[in-house]
């Protein structure tokens, strides 16, 4: 069987990919996707560890998180919509009227 370390590496990689996306992309939607990737990384951990520890807590919880992620995206899309309406675009760096 695959030792848990590999899963950990995988999830860490995913997490970094997501982070990289957040730091580099300016499109709000891509931003949201990157967040999803990070959450997925966490989910992988949960599943993997729950398998290792031999209890279901992690797996169950990962279901919760998936749902929450979906909700988050839903709200996010809504906000992106009004963003588009107000700023004529979905570039997150456009909305920078408030600063300092």
Partner 1 sequence: MVAFDYAPAIALLPFASFVIALFAGKYMPKRGALAGILATGGSLVLSIWMAFTVAGGETYNEELYTFVSPEAFDLHLGILVDPLAALMLIIVSLVAFLVHIFSLGYMNDEGETGLPRYYAGLGLFTASMLGFVLADNLFMAFMFFEMVGLCSWLLIGFWFRDDAPPSAAKKAFLVTRFGDYFFLVGVVGIFVTFSTATYAGSESFVRLAEEALAGNVGAVNTFGFEPQTWFAILGLLVLGGVIGKSAQFPLHTWLPDAMEGPTPVSALIHAATMVAAGVYLVARMYGFYALLPTVLAIIAFIGGFTALFAATMAVVKREIKQVLAYSTISQYGYMMLGLGVGGYVAATFHLMTHAFFKALLFLGAGSVIIAMHHNEDMWDMGGLKDRMPVTYWTFLAGSLALAGIFPFAGFWSKDEVLYEALVHGLNDPLLLGAYAMGLLAVLFTGFYTFRMVLLTFHGEPRSETAKNPHGVGWNVKLPLAVLGALAVVAGFINMVPVAELTGANIEFLHKWLEHGITGVTSEHYGELLSEFAGYQAAELSPLIPAVVSLGLALAGAGLAYVLYSGASPERHTDRLGSIKTLLMSNYYQDEYQVWLADATTRVARAADTFDQGVIDGVVNGVSSVSLFSGSRIKRVQTGVVTNYAALLSLGLVALLVVFGLLGGWF
Partner 2 sequence: MAPLPDWTAAAPAILLGLTAITLLIIDSISPRSKNRNLLAGTTLVGTLAALAAAVGLLVTGTGTNGGVSLYGGQIIVDGMSLFFTIIFTSVAALVTLASYDYLAGETEQAEYYALVMLATTGMAMMASAGSLALVFVSFELLSLPSYALVAFLKDNRGSVEASLKYLLIGALSSAILLYGISLIYGVTGGLLFETVAANIQNSGLTGMLGIGVLMVLGGFAFKTASVPFHFWAPEAYEGSPGPISAYLSSASKAAGFVVAFRVFTVAFGLDIVSSVDWVLAFQVLAVVTMTLGNFAAATQDNVKRMLAYSSVGQAGYVLIGLAALGGGQDALVLGMSMTHLLVYGFMNTGAFLFIALAEHWDIGRTFADYNGLGSQAPIACAAMSVFMLSLAGIPLGGGFLSKYFLFGAAVGAGFWWLAAIAIVNSVLSLYYYLRVVRAMWFEESNGDRTIEGYPLGLYTAVIAAAVVTVLLIPAFNLVADPAVDAAAALF
User: Across-strand partners of 91?
Assistant: 27
Question: For residue 15, how many other CB atoms are within 10 A of its CB?
Answer: 18
Does position 26 bind partner 2 by CB under 8 A? no
Does position 21 bind partner 2 by CB under 8 A? no
Does position 38 bind partner 1 by CB under 8 A? no
Residue given tokens 């963003």 in the structure block: 83
Q: Which residue among 10, 17, 58, 89 contacts partner 2 (CB under 8 A)?
A: 58
**CA 78, CA 75: separation in Å to the nearest integer?**
5
Give the interface with partner 1 as residue ranges (CB under 8 A). Answer: 19, 22-23, 26, 92-93, 95-100
């Amino acid at each position: 069987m695959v030792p848990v370390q590999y899963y950990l590496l995988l999830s860490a990689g995913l997490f970094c990919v997501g982070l990289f996306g957040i730091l580099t992309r300016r499109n709000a939607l891509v931003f949201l996707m990157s967040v999803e990737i990070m959450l997925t990384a966490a989910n992988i951990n949960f599943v993997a560890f729950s398998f290792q520890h031999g209890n279901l807590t992690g797996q169950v919880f990962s279901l919760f998180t998936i749902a929450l992620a979906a909700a988050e995206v839903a709200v996010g899309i809504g906000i992106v919509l009004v963003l588009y309406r107000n700023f004529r675009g979905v570039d997150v760096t456009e909305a920078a009227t408030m600063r300092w």
